[in-house]
Copies of this chain bind each other. A is one copy, B any other.
Amino acid sequence: MLEQMGKDAKAASWQLAVLSSADKDRALLAIADRLDAQSDDILRANALDMADARQNGLSEALLDRLLLTPARLSAIAADVRQVCRLTDPVGQVIDGRRLDNGLKLERRRVPLGVVGVIYEARPNVTVDVAALCLKTGNAVILRGGKETFRTNAATVKVIQQALLGCQLPPSAVQAIENPDRALVNELLKLDRYVDMLIPRGGAGLHKLCRENSTIPVITGGIGVCHIYADETVDFEPALKVIENAKIQRPSACNSLETLLVHKAVAPAFLSRLSRHMHALGVTLHADGAARPYLADGPAACVPVEEANFHNEWLSLDLNVKVVDGFDEAVDHIRKHGTQHSDAILTQSLASAERFVREVDSSAVYVNASTRFTDGGQFGLGAEVAVSTQKLHARGPMGLEALTTYKWIGYGDNLSRA
């Protein structure tokens, strides 16, 4: 079944690849307009999904993620209009020159072709990803979470009608509407047609893709993020950064999970930390060396377990560990981090530069919150995903990450010497 879908997507991608930016923006505007005009269809499908979700006993938090309202849908349409305003990277000449062998060579940015996206829950991702792929001339195959299959199907139907209205192939945006998980495995093997696969979900989904996909996969989105407060740390500003990294949005992958503190400042700093975290309702998970300074403080404090250092809390919990110095801090990050976002809080220029060089993460910060790792914050205009792998794209992925390049050589009936 997916074979045909892949074939259609590839065929659509040939058409999209040669569209002008203006044509693509026209299609995006048509999609936004139709999302507004046919919002009832989508909201009706969403109501059915919501009813099922309630019956299946999903948590209030999850239900809220699934829910579409007229206001939310209208915000989604507005986001599509926003994508029109971004610069289209396709067609950009990256570099080029006339070579000594006579060849006029240039590297031109082109679409990837067909992008596969596997995601969970949030129905806004459907529109978001479709818009970014169309903007960059890519066809897309979407496989959303089973809780929103009807919402997604209704949304994709509206998008396809808009594409048809612009004389574009509806197979440019397709959704796998059957929630059967076997189809995910089928998608992972569709390397003849799909050029890149982006899983957006938990660690299990990423592992499944890495182990089974024959398509190049962008993994990421899992963040065991660290802050290292060294022996020169300025207490009060540092506590504010730690607060921001931990509590601004604990469920985000760029939130802080483990605080490393230099032993020289541990007694004084940790006692301030306990007071500060208590006021915020954060539970501290302390290692043996940190506990003496935290046990009597106001914040809840329990012993940390080794496994805690390897996992995201995604909640108001924070691991605290005292280290002997810089090397132990970096060593801890290398062993437990996910190469997402890590920060040092220091007044030492030398330590800042060493940290930047030695910590091998997608984003490394000096005296700044790990929460900045985000396409919007980085000024990319859009975010397709956050990659924590090293090939193709690293960290927040903007429109450029949805493109590749081709080499173009012009000659005058030129042969290689």
A364/B407 in contact, CB under 8 A: yes
Complex interface residues of chain A between 242 and 279 (CB less than 8 A to chain B): 243-245, 248
Q: Is the CB of B360 within 8 A of A110?
A: yes
Mark out the residues of chain A between 82 and 97 whose CB falls within 8 Å of any chain B CB in the assembled complex. Answer: 97
Chain B min CB distance to A191 (Å): 7
Mostly, the A contact residues are mixed
Q: Are A410 and B366 in contact (CB under 8 A)?
A: yes
A140 to chain B, nearest CB (A): 15
Within 8 A of B (CB), among A216-238: 216-217, 234, 237-238
A362 at the binding interface (Cβ < 8 Å): yes
Closest to A416 in B: B371
The interface stretch among A156-164, A174-182, A285-293, A386-394 is A386-394
Interface residues on A, range: 35 or more
With a cutoff of 8 Å between Cβ atoms, the chain B residues found around residue A413 in the complex are 234, 237-238, 240-241, 345, 367-368
**Does A316 have its Cβ within 8 Å of any Cβ on chain B?**
no
CB pair B234–A379 under 8 Å, yes or no, is no
Q: Is A171 an interface residue (CB 8 A)?
A: no
Docked CA distance A237–B414 (Å): 8
Q: How far is the CA of A245 from the CA of B411 in the complex (A)?
A: 14
Contact check, A363 vs B414: say whether CB atoms are below 8 A apart: no
Within A342-371, which residues are at the interface with B (CB < 8 Å)? Answer: 345, 352, 356-358, 360-369, 371
Q: Does A377 have its Cβ within 8 Å of any Cβ on chain B?
A: yes
Expressed in whole angstroms, the Cα–Cα distance for A231 and B144 within the complex equals 48
How many copies the complex holds: the figure is 2
| Complex Cα–Cα for A183 and B285 (A) | 41
A410 close to B368 (CB less than 8 A): yes
Given the complex, which residues of B lie within 8 Å of A4, measured CB to CB? none
Q: Is A210 an interface residue (CB 8 A)?
A: yes
Given A14-B358, A358-B18, A390-B196, A379 and B240 touching (CB < 8 A)?
no
- Inter-subunit contact A412/B367 (CB<8 Å): yes
In the complex, what residues of B have CB within 8 A of residue A196's CB?
Answer: 390-391
In the assembly, what is the distance between CA of A366 and CA of B407, in Å?
A: 11
What is A's interface to B at a CB cutoff of 8 Å? 14, 17-18, 97, 99-101, 103, 105, 108, 110, 112-113, 191, 195-196, 210-211, 214, 216-217, 234, 237-238, 240-241, 243-245, 248, 334, 345, 352, 356-358, 360-369, 371-373, 377-379, 389-392, 394-396, 404-416
The 4 A-B residue pairs whose C-beta atoms are closest, nearest first, are: A368-B411, A244-B415, A237-B413, A390-B404
